[in-house]
Amino acid sequence: MSITRINPGPRMSQAVIHNGTVYLAGQIGAPGEDVETQTRAVLAAIDALLAEAGTDRTRLLQATVWLADMADFAAMNRVWEEWIGPGQAPTRATGEVRLATPDYKVEIIIIAAQP
């Protein structure tokens, strides 16, 4: 089985494809923006990477959401629920963690299937 890496760098790839499964690196938005703006940017980056991998958000398998502050849970969910289609929700876990800098409010990691 081959492994395809999308946007590989010295530390990580933005996506890895193996055996019809797409694994995305954690995606973050512009530092300093509010959680809704950052979440929209994260989801747009996810859409772009999924498209590059030959799939889309209707084929999500799992999402891991990291929030810098669980007080932002409802605001992030409003954006998520606008983005995710009815009946298309993956399994998901959300937790509070200290992200790379205090300016980041949300990071989302996705696993998806290819058609």
Across 23-52, average pLDDT: 96
Q: What angle do CA 7, 19, 80 make, to 5 degrees?
A: 60
Full domain range(s) for residue 60:
3-113
How many domains is the chain partitioned into structurally? 1
Q: What is the pLDDT of residue 106?
A: 98
Digit-coded pLDDT (tens) for 61-107 = 999 999 999 999 999 999 999 999 899 999 999 999 999 999 999 99
pLDDT of residue 74: 98
What do you get for the CA distance between the two ends of the chain, in Å?
17
Instruction: For the full predicted model, state whether its pTM sits above 0.85.
Output: yes
CATH number at residue 20: 3.30.1330.40
As a whole number of Å, the CA-based R_g of the chain is 14
Please give the pLDDT value at position 32.
87
